[in-house]
Structure 1
């Protein structure tokens, strides 16, 4: 199925996000656009923090980090939970956005095992985080720290985490009003930031570690 990628990106540019509603009795769900009165942001300045125990993990270099090495596996990992808003149709949309160069997976690996990852969209200087998961303890936490470093180095203005939870609060996540979010988003999407080079190959096979 083909999707109107420019229309979808325009929705995100307006501060909306896609979610699937709960499944009905027949097991199907409806995809829709949503907004929120408040948004959760991950700070890209000195407000970002993490536990000292995680610093020890980082110092031990337990994980390598990659971008888009296995995008589909990250999408599947994010959706693999008892209750998920990532429906089969939304997965397909993420794959289409990835092929178009908008959606990315930021991954941690232990040898050849995917430890964790973060799924999101990069639009200008805004990174819109959709979901994250881990298969090995600390996998997603290391991904978070390294992703913040990556965004800082590329002068991103905004790291949108959408909704607050205790895990994000440990990294200094904070809530702003939708009005403030819209103003920040407007500035961010106009920045000429490049999250990751876009491949001319419509089905890229990226395997880059750093």
Structure 2
């Protein structure tokens, strides 16, 4: 099984660099560092009233790190993906070493949505999310925010800004500002736990 060694991945993240596959088929990756970076300031995150109602009603069960590999596979299960087997296997190892995490949303015992990302110090690098049930991805996003806020994280990196993430408080910042936030976040010790 081919993997990117965990120490290489973590060193890259510490410098604001992340891997992506050009297609889900091959066993190679390219390394990227966005000139403008998407971040969700933890004190500016917001969620829709509809999703907050779903959370209050307890329609879903939420767990952390119980089914990491399946979350990554579900994130890759789309027409175009940057997640190939090399990324799947590499992040699975990173999860086992405590530096990659999944927020999993279940309905009647079935995985209904979720997200995964990498942690380093007080930084969380969001990688991807998916949903099988309506709003399950947003429920995962809400609980991810709760985990980050309650455990002392200071940087929520989404890599790129999208309009979809913008609805929850994501904004685009310049590389220089991002580098300062990352440098500060790496000095913190934070644990990703629900």
Give the TM-score category using the shorter length: over 0.9
Alpha-carbon shift at residue 87 of structure 1 (Å): 1.0
SS in 2 for 1:180: helix
Deviation track 1:87-132 (CA, whole Å, cap 9, x = no partner) reads 1111111111111111111111112111111110111100000100
**What's the C-alpha RMSD, in Å, of the aligned pairs?**
1.5
Partner of 2:160: 163
Counterpart among 34, 37, 40 of residue 39 in structure 1 = 37
Instruction: Report the equivalent of 2:50.
Output: 53
Aligned to 2:17: 16
In structure 1, the partner of 2:184 is: 187
TM-score (norm 1): 0.87
Instruction: Tell me how far apart the structure 2 counterparts of residues 49 and 106 of structure 1 sit (CA, whole Å).
Output: 18
Q: Which runs of 4+ in 1 moved over 3 A?
A: none
Asked if residue 73 in structure 1 is aligned to residue 70 in structure 2, the reply is yes
Q: Give the Cα–Cα distance (whole angstroms) in 2 for the partners of residues 37 and 162 of structure 1.
A: 10
Judge conservation of contact 1:5–1:97 (CA < 8 Å) in 2. Answer: yes
Tell me, yes or no, if the aligned pair for 2:117 and 2:126 is still in contact at 8 Å.
Answer: yes
The structure having more radius of gyration, on CA atoms, is: 1
**How many residues matched?**
193
Per the alignment, residue 171 of structure 2 pairs with: 174
| TM superposition shift of 1:33 | 1.1
Query: In 2, Cα distance between the equivalents of 1:171 and 1:111?
Result: 27
Structure showing the higher helix proportion among its residues: 2
Secondary structure in 2 matching 1:140: helix
Provide structure 1 residue ranges, at least 5 long, that are not aligned to the other structure.
Answer: 197-209
1:115 corresponds to which of 95, 112, 118: 112
Residues 38 and 159, structure 2, Cα contact 8 Å, conserved in 1: yes
* Residue ranges of structure 2 left out of the alignment (5+ in a row): none
Q: Distance in 2 between matches of 1:70 and 1:29?
A: 23
Distance across 2 between alignment mates of 1:109 and 1:125: 27
60, 63, 83: which one aligns with 1:63: 60
- Cα offsets for 1:11-57 (capped at 9, x unmatched): 0000001101247xxx5353121111111111211x21122222211
**Does structure 2 conserve the Cα–Cα contact (< 8 Å) formed by 1:21 and 1:29?**
no
Tell me the distance in 1 between the aligned counterparts of 2:93 and 2:54.
35
